[in-house]
Structure 1
Amino acid sequence: MSNIVNTRDKTAIVGIGTTEISRDCGRTELKMAVEAILDAVEDAGISVDDIDGMVNYTMDKSEQLEVVNALGIPNLSFFSKTPYGGGGSCATVAHAVAAVEAGLANYVVCYRSIRDASLPVRIGDFDASQQSYNDDDVYYGMYMPYGLITPVSWVAMFAQRYIHEFDIGDDAFWPVAQINRENANRNPSAWFHDQKLTYEEYMNSPMNVTPLRRHDCCLNIDGAMAVIVTSAENAKHLKQTPAYISGVAQGMHTHGEQMTSYYRKDITTLHEVVEYGDLMFKMAGITPKDIDVAQFYDAFSPLVPMQLEALGFVEKGEGVDFIQDVDRLRVDGELPINTSGGLMSEGYVHGMNLIVEAVRQIRGTSTTQVNDVEFSLVTGGLGVPSSGIILRRG
């Protein structure tokens, strides 16, 4: 533990880059990845030649080798990928921190490029020529015959139990959808920038899978995001305000599965989040009360109060009560959340957009800017091995 704690504030995110968020991008994941990385390079005030490390998701269709070729990067001395979809979002930064601290790279770019709106959704990659399945196909084959074929169906099982155990009302998750949309309405880059959401529209929206309504779910889009991690020393000489990485951790808990950890004694607790949260806050030397703004992974709205509980913001079973006073979640409230609109109203870039927004909060450039931010929290995807980050203003 002592060695891990000593990494506090020794690295920083110094560049952020984005493409537009759309539902018909008209180009490949590779092209969007290159655009986002070039934007991050420009933002940081470095050159492409400075990049010597790269991390993306195993699910990403833009292969690192092709990105290197397209950008003309001379050499990568470090490269890796993080699994488990959105659970690997903050993990990309964890890998980058490890590489920089170990001296394996100086400037590591982390990115995600996704076409979830304009390409058909595929689960698994069956190779007809080889007549074989990859590991994901074997895993999913255990569930698809029984109707559990989408993330919303998997999370709905956890949500149903959570509602039953704590006697939660039918409209209890409305504040999450409400605050996300309010923040998106201030963000010109958000997909739902021009579309307000009323309580009536929320309640009357169709059930995707009970108890999750349409507006309880994230928004599939096309887009790419990138961040650049370097040492705190390098960060001092670059053009942007550094977002120092005070804590970053991953969590993989016993009896875990990919989205279907139904055989645990308690499926209303996000066990991986409990584990990585404890480590992350110890690294940063702070408690949840010190967090000024949070970007909670909001693929589905019940996961926000569940994360409040798992990370220690409230006690077990108190997450829904906390969010009922929506003013708590607003820009001048007790815990402002998802200030760009989150995955539900800005767009679903598998959590990388949450990291970008957390950096904006440190810089003071968010469209829903919280005053005097010192600590900015980001969380990764839920129902899978997960990860989180605490950023600090210098």
Structure 2
Amino acid sequence: MRIGLLTQWYDPEPGPAALPGMLARALAERGHEVRVLTGFPNYPTGRLAPGYRLARRHDEVDGATRVRRVALYPSHDRSALRRVANYGSFAVSALVSGTPALRGLDALWVGNSPISVALPMWFTRYVHRVPVLLHVLDLWPDSVVASGFLGTGLVSRTVERGMAAWCAAMYRSASRVAHVAPGAADLLADRGVPRDKLVHIPVWADETMGVRAADLRAELGLRPDQVVLVYAGALGEAQGLDSLVDACARTDDPRLVCLIAGSGTTQDRLRRRATAVGASNVRFLGQLPRERMPALMATGDVHYVSLRPGGMSAYTMPSKVQATLAAGRALLVAAEGDAAAVARDSGAGITARPGDPDSIADALREVCDLGREKLELLGQAGRAHYDRMFSVAVGADRVEQTLCEMVADPGFRASRRLR
């Protein structure tokens, strides 16, 4: 098949932005002709990646994949205005300069975040008559509301309603709508997406994290018997990390060390809280460079995943769940819904009630009682579960199968003959 990928994020951008590139290569290895429409790489710094110069468009070859990059406003800071400029500029450039590269496709995979990708998606769907698989990697407007970008007030509520209507139009135009967390199916159905259009395609992880790097234990002065819990990621309200700090203060096992790496709006508050409650077993590492993340992953005997209860938490699958499983490390999950279910089903995790320091402290004591060797066994079980359920190969199989079903659909084939 001739398969297109429409995504604002692509290699060499790291982290979640690298996932579309993994899909493109996996599909190309299966013999498909793959074309990618994306922007100039600038995530996460907001500056163009080395070796790139902004232009109206730029074509390149990535192995067996053809990539067209189009101009955008590089930015990834906390400014809502600049973020809108970043999203909007890519959408317009992709529509004007990118959609010709998608002509003649059999099917198109679209990463839905940001939802401004609807402009080139709709053009390709209705003008080029290409069926679309819309992969809902982030739920909008929910994720924007949770981030605090919209603020509060009448204008914010109006924007939120407009986003919801925009998303509904995207869902209607797609032949299939894929969701990454099982719980999102009911939510999308409640928002009007027909059940027969919904397909569960979990997202994969950067599997290079599974290549065990030298750890940071010696550098951090950690003893061989100490059990290390790592939280790496955003330090924001949605993560509810205050309860982790409180739980660490209530855990008196001298083997426990909690490492918190990352930055965000709550980082200063968390540091003050750790001092106030006497959580001397918590260390803040700040924002580590990407190249040190494999070493940090190897340092943790168990990795912490947390979401505040309520809101989106029941149907959210934080990407660090798959990343931890892929790295063969154990999980401690303080969240509702799908993330907790994966921790239990994989055999790699321990769960606690989100926002409950006593429950989290009980889980920390269980982690210490297991010890490093048994936690290693949990991690191995997690890696086996990742290979069965979340790997790039499994994800590409599910995407490929869904695209084939779309292309074979008699209704869509008839509509294409009417061109």
TM-score normalised by the chain length of structure 2: 0.28
TM-score normalised by the chain length of structure 1: 0.29
Greater RCO, CA 8 A, separation 6+: 1
